[in-house]
A and B are shown apart, each in its own frame.
Chain A
Amino acid sequence: MTTKNPAATTTDTTKSPTAQATPLIPLPPTAARALTIAGSAAALIGTFLAWTWTDEFPGNLTVTGYPGGLQVLTLVGAALTLLFALSGYGIRGLGWLTPGGTNSPVLLLALGVLGTTGYAMGAISDELGGLVNLDPGAWISGIGSLIAVIGAFGLPVDQPYDDGDPTPHLWGRIRHSLTAPEPGRAKDLPSWAEILIIAAGFGAGLYVFAYGIGTEYSELFIGFLIIAAFGFTALTRAGLLKRLSALTAKHRNVNLAAAFVAAICFPFTQSNDQFALIGANILIFATVALGLNVVVGLAGLLDLGYVAFLGVGAYAAALVSGSPQSSIGVHFPFWAAVLTGAAASLIFGVVIGAPTLRLRGDYLAIVTLGFGEIFRITMNNLNGNSGPDVTIGSNGIPNIPDLEIFGFNLGLPHDVAGHELTRSGNYYLLMLLFTAIVVMVFRRSAESRIGRAWVAIREDETAATAMGINSFRLKLLAFALGASLAGLAGTVQSHVSYSVTPEQYQFAGSVPPNSAFLLAAVILGGMGTISGPLIGAALLYLIPAKLQFMADYQLLLFGLALMLLMRFRPEGLVADRRKQLEFHETGQLDVPEDAPLPEGATGVAKAGA
Chain B
Amino acid sequence: MTTTTTATTTVLDASNVTMRFGGLTAVRSVDLTVNTGEIVGLIGPNGAGKTTFFNCLTGLYVPTSGTVKYKGTVLPPKPHLVTQAGIARTFQNIRLFANMTVLENVLVGRHTRTNEGLWSALLRLPGFKKAEQESRERAMELLEFTGLAAKADHLARNLPYGEQRKLEIARALASEPGLLLLDEPTAGMNPQETRATEELVFAIRDKGTAILVIEHDIRFIMNLSDRVAVLVQGEKLVEGSAETIQADERVIAAYLGTPFEGAPGTEEAAEVEAAEAQSTTEGDAK
Q: Answer yes or no: do A and B interact.
A: yes
Bound CA–CA A465/B80 (angstroms) = 5
Bound CA–CA A468/B113 (angstroms) = 9
Q: Contact string, B87-115, partner A, CB cutoff 8 A, digits 1/0?
A: 01101000111111000100111111010
Determine whether the beta carbon of B111 is less than 8 Å from that of A467: yes
A481 to chain B minimum Cβ distance, whole angstroms, is 7
Of the residues A444, A469, A591, A595, contact of B108 by C-beta under 8 Å: A469
- B249 contacts chain A at the CB level, 8 A cutoff: no
Determine whether the beta carbon of A448 is less than 8 Å from that of B132: yes
Determine whether the beta carbon of A456 is less than 8 Å from that of B200: no
Determine whether the beta carbon of A452 is less than 8 Å from that of B100: yes
Determine whether the beta carbon of A608 is less than 8 Å from that of B97: no
A587 to chain B minimum Cβ distance, whole angstroms, is 7
Determine whether the beta carbon of A452 is less than 8 Å from that of B158: no
- A564 contacts chain B at the CB level, 8 A cutoff: no
Bound CA–CA A466/B200 (angstroms) = 21
Determine whether the beta carbon of A467 is less than 8 Å from that of B200: no
- B84 contacts chain A at the CB level, 8 A cutoff: yes
Of the residues A444, A468, A606, contact of B112 by C-beta under 8 Å: A468
Cβ-closest chain A residue relative to B197? A603
Bound CA–CA A592/B171 (angstroms) = 22
CB-contacts of B210-245 with A (<8 A): none
- A471 contacts chain B at the CB level, 8 A cutoff: yes
Determine whether the beta carbon of B79 is less than 8 Å from that of A465: yes
Given A607-B145, A607-B199, answer yes or no on A462-B95 (Cβ-Cβ < 8 Å): yes
Bound CA–CA A331/B89 (angstroms) = 56
Bound CA–CA A455/B103 (angstroms) = 14
Q: Contact string, A578-603, partner B, CB cutoff 8 A, digits 1/0?
A: 11011000011001101101001011
Determine whether the beta carbon of B153 is less than 8 Å from that of A466: no
CB-contacts of A132-189 with B (<8 A): none
Determine whether the beta carbon of A607 is less than 8 Å from that of B146: yes
- B61 contacts chain A at the CB level, 8 A cutoff: no
Determine whether the beta carbon of B147 is less than 8 Å from that of A606: yes
Determine whether the beta carbon of A581 is less than 8 Å from that of B91: no
Bound CA–CA A469/B78 (angstroms) = 10
Q: Contact string, B101-131, partner A, CB cutoff 8 A, digits 1/0?
A: 0001001111110101110111010001001
Report how many residues on chain A are interfacial, defined by Cβ distance under 8 Å: 46
Q: Contact string, A428-457, partner B, CB cutoff 8 A, digits 1/0?
A: 000000000000110011011111110110
Bound CA–CA A468/B80 (angstroms) = 4
**Which residues of chain A come closer than 8 Å to B204, judged between CB atoms?**
607
Cβ-closest chain B residue relative to A448? B121
Q: Contact string, B145-167, partner A, CB cutoff 8 A, digits 1/0?
A: 11110110111011000000010
Determine whether the beta carbon of B122 is less than 8 Å from that of A445: yes
Determine whether the beta carbon of A449 is less than 8 Å from that of B122: no
Given A607-B200, A607-B203, answer yes or no on A463-B91 (Cβ-Cβ < 8 Å): yes
Determine whether the beta carbon of A448 is less than 8 Å from that of B80: no
Instruction: Kindly count the residue-residue contacts between A and B in the assembled complex, taking CB atoms under 8 Å apart.
Output: 151
- A470 contacts chain B at the CB level, 8 A cutoff: yes
**Which residues of chain B come closer than 8 Å to A604, judged between CB atoms?**
147, 195-196, 199-200
Bound CA–CA A481/B114 (angstroms) = 21
Bound CA–CA A493/B132 (angstroms) = 37
A477 to chain B minimum Cβ distance, whole angstroms, is 6
- A459 contacts chain B at the CB level, 8 A cutoff: yes
- B273 contacts chain A at the CB level, 8 A cutoff: no
- B266 contacts chain A at the CB level, 8 A cutoff: no
Interface of B is mostly: helix
Q: Contact string, A22-58, partner B, CB cutoff 8 A, digits 1/0?
A: 0000000000000000000000000000000000000
Determine whether the beta carbon of A607 is less than 8 Å from that of B154: no
**Which residues of chain B come closer than 8 Å to A581, judged between CB atoms?**
99, 155, 157-158
Of the residues A459, A471, A591, contact of B80 by C-beta under 8 Å: A471
**Which residues of chain A come closer than 8 Å to B109, judged between CB atoms?**
467-468
B70 to chain A minimum Cβ distance, whole angstroms, is 14
Determine whether the beta carbon of A469 is less than 8 Å from that of B80: yes
Q: Contact string, B179-199, partner A, CB cutoff 8 A, digits 1/0?
A: 000000000000010011001
Determine whether the beta carbon of B153 is less than 8 Å from that of A591: yes
Given A594-B150, A606-B145, answer yes or no on A452-B166 (Cβ-Cβ < 8 Å): no
**Which residues of chain B come closer than 8 Å to A608, judged between CB atoms?**
199, 202-203
Determine whether the beta carbon of A459 is less than 8 Å from that of B97: yes
**Which residues of chain A come closer than 8 Å to B202, judged between CB atoms?**
608
Given A466-B79, A467-B175, answer yes or no on A603-B147 (Cβ-Cβ < 8 Å): yes
- B144 contacts chain A at the CB level, 8 A cutoff: yes
**Which residues of chain A come closer than 8 Å to B117, judged between CB atoms?**
450
A456 to chain B minimum Cβ distance, whole angstroms, is 5
- B67 contacts chain A at the CB level, 8 A cutoff: no
Determine whether the beta carbon of A456 is less than 8 Å from that of B199: no
- B18 contacts chain A at the CB level, 8 A cutoff: no
Complex A-B: 5 CB contacts under 8 Å: A463-B96, A465-B80, A469-B108, A600-B196, A603-B146
6 more CB-based (< 8 A) A-B contacts, given A449-B116, A468-B111: A444-B122, A470-B80, A578-B100, A582-B99, A604-B196, A606-B144
